[in-house]
Amino acid sequence: MNLLPELGFECLTENEDFFMNCLLRYVMENGSVFRGYYGSYIWKNIGSIEMNFHILPGEDSYHLAGFTSHVSGDQVWQLAVADSCQCYDDDECESVLERWVTFTHPLTHEGSIRLYLVNADVVPDFFPNDVIAVQVIAIAQEVTYYADEDAYNQSEPLAQLMGKPVHFASNNVLSILDMSVAVGAIKDVSMRFCTDAKGKPKEFYCVTIATSYGTLEIMHAKERVAEGEEALIRPGGFIKANCMLLGDVAMGKYQRGAIHDQEHLTRLFRSCIECRDFTRITNVLAEDCRYRSRKYEIVAQGKADVFAHLSGIAAKQKEQEMDCRAYPAVVFAIEGNDEGEEASFEFPIGTHCIALSQNEEGNIDAVLFIMLNEDNQICEIRNAGEKEGIYKVKINRGEDPARNDDFAPVRCARSEREWLEVVQACYEQGHFDDIAFYYGMLPDCVLESETPPEVDVDFPIIGREPIYTYLSGRVTYDEHTTECEILDGSRWGHEYALKTDIDSSVHMTVIDVDAEGAIVKISEYQP
């Protein structure tokens, strides 16, 4: 992920000779190393910018697999994993060192932001609702500055919704695919720097805003600022930035890189099972690794055979479209274990393992254990069948405690009579600010009327917003007396019709719905 041009340093990468023979060589000779599970990252800061090269081990050499530009920062967020599904192409193993992950708020589980992870391979697993420390920055492709929030709210809206302008929420960051939009009041402004291809220092902006996830640092080149907006870049000003979010996960316990112990390698193995791709586990399998079946029979012996065995299972699952889930688990009891005999079992209470469920989620079919040699490599994978197994495990299913059955979605599918009841309620309440009614209309919904309107309107009216505007103009709760009644609608070719009397001005309304229960057409007639 090369975002140097967004910071004003395209000069560092536009010349291939300079990039390969100067920048790359400098980082390789002077940089520090983060070890991942499959590859490594060599990084070096040049001023505030971090140059990060992705390195894969080969049989006789190392391979340069990728490059990431990042910016050093002080803002570390705690984020909960929402979605990390990623599969790897056999011909493009370098993608193993790169990852996009969707996160949410760790406490409320609200919001959804998508981050490109720097040093992604140092984390073994991104299981749903895992909370991970991430050093987050935003690098902006486009920025707009405003004098204050009021000026922002007066700017061109994204759209109109029920007569009101729609803007991105203030002091918030929202991801749309891999792009994000950050909007907020400016808390602080500072300058960061890096040297250009000639060794001369050059500055770029760092603007901070508050978000629900934490303070966000937005970086961008000076050249990104539109003419006349420089004076607005100050505390108290306002910013909207189209940006990419980058998060360095070599933080906290991963500050020194990947952790090779029983817990973390078990989590790594789990992620490979879930992704049905065992690329990331290649370099942690011992040469004499073996795979034992439920009956303790060795079904694969040696690193290559074990890898082929695991890959064959994954290929079969893909081919047969088998639903296979792998959950992190831990031994909490041992069947038939007398007090004081725990040491006699290979996997004592507290041992991390993997619970497998096939076809029916939640029905545990088997439990996998890994064993490590003195070099902290996987020397054995043990399949302990759940039915005949003595080990009882506690499973982390990744449930979201904030989500429950109380959630009530907006109901946008109704019958003809039900929609007439909604319209009746809108008239009686004196407004049509009902989100269900608004989105219950198809985008190309039509309103036709034989009733002389109180406002100058051309019929038919097409579209949610124009229809909303027209209907809203019919009612003002404080000024009118409205009476509504649902009657027989056969006169107008419908089962039901809504009679509306607004200060003795009477009209009938019928509604056409499609097979999905959405409003296709609204028709008004004189009685």
- Identify whether residues 351 and 423 lie together within a single domain: no
**Cα–Cα distance for residue pair 197/73, rounded to 1 Å:** 23
- Identify whether residues 219 and 358 lie together within a single domain: no
- Identify whether residues 154 and 40 lie together within a single domain: no
| Final residue belonging to a domain, choices 15, 42, 71 | 71
Cα dihedral: 464, 465, 469, 470 (round 10): -40
- Identify whether residues 421 and 361 lie together within a single domain: no
Which pair of structure tokens corresponds to residue 285? Answer: 């399998």
For residue 32, the enclosing domain spans 5-71
- Identify whether residues 264 and 384 lie together within a single domain: yes
**CB distance 65 to 93 below 8 Å:** yes
Q: Which residues pair with 66 in a beta bridge?
A: 54
- Identify whether residues 111 and 245 lie together within a single domain: yes
| Closest listed residue to residue 167, CA positions, set 155, 176, 179 | 155
- Identify whether residues 242 and 98 lie together within a single domain: yes
CATH number at 334 reads 3.10.450.50
| Final residue belonging to a domain, choices 229, 253, 277 | 253
Looking at the domain assignment, is residue 406 inside a domain? no
DSSP strands (E only) in 249-323: 285-292, 298-301
Looking at the domain assignment, is residue 405 inside a domain? no
| Final residue belonging to a domain, choices 71, 87, 104 | 71
**Cα–Cα distance for residue pair 118/67, rounded to 1 Å:** 10
DSSP state of 208: E
**pLDDT number for residue 86:** 57
- Identify whether residues 167 and 62 lie together within a single domain: no
Q: Which residues pair with 183 in a beta bridge?
A: 172, 240
Whole-model pTM above 0.75? yes
Looking at the domain assignment, is residue 298 inside a domain? yes
**pLDDT number for residue 117:** 93
| Closest listed residue to residue 49, CA positions, set 193, 189, 191 | 193
Looking at the domain assignment, is residue 233 inside a domain? yes
**Cα–Cα distance for residue pair 472/176, rounded to 1 Å:** 32
Question: 3-class SS at 150?
Answer: helix
**pLDDT number for residue 91:** 46
- Identify whether residues 336 and 354 lie together within a single domain: yes
Number of domains in the chain: 4
**pLDDT number for residue 90:** 46
Looking at the domain assignment, is residue 202 inside a domain? yes
| Closest listed residue to residue 348, CA positions, set 333, 364, 329 | 333
Question: 3-class SS at 520?
Answer: strand
pLDDT tens digits, the chain, 527 residues: what are they? 888 888 888 888 878 888 888 888 888 889 888 899 999 999 999 899 999 999 988 778 888 888 999 998 889 999 999 876 655 444 444 478 888 999 999 888 888 899 999 999 999 999 988 999 999 999 999 999 999 999 999 999 888 888 888 888 899 999 988 899 999 999 999 999 988 777 888 899 999 999 999 999 999 999 999 999 999 999 999 999 999 999 999 988 898 899 999 999 999 999 999 888 898 999 999 999 999 887 678 889 999 999 999 999 888 888 877 778 888 999 888 776 555 454 456 788 889 999 888 766 567 788 899 999 999 999 999 887 654 457 788 888 776 554 444 556 778 889 999 999 999 999 988 889 999 999 999 999 999 998 766 667 889 999 999 999 999 887 765 566 778 999 999 999 999 999 998 877 888 999 999 999 999 999 999 88
- Identify whether residues 294 and 352 lie together within a single domain: yes
- Identify whether residues 141 and 211 lie together within a single domain: yes
Which pair of structure tokens corresponds to residue 439? Answer: 């989105």
Looking at the domain assignment, is residue 424 inside a domain? yes
**CB distance 509 to 524 below 8 Å:** yes
Looking at the domain assignment, is residue 64 inside a domain? yes
**pLDDT number for residue 94:** 47
Looking at the domain assignment, is residue 519 inside a domain? yes
Q: Spell out the residues 6+ positions from residue 291 whose beta carbon is closer than 8 angstroms to its own.
A: 298, 299, 300, 301, 306, 309, 310, 380, 381, 383
- Identify whether residues 48 and 181 lie together within a single domain: no
Residue 453, Cα to own-chain centre: how many angstroms?
47
| Closest listed residue to residue 52, CA positions, set 61, 62, 60, 64 | 64
| Closest listed residue to residue 209, CA positions, set 242, 231, 238 | 238
Q: Angle at Cα 29 formed by Cα 27 and Cα 33, nearest 5°?
A: 70
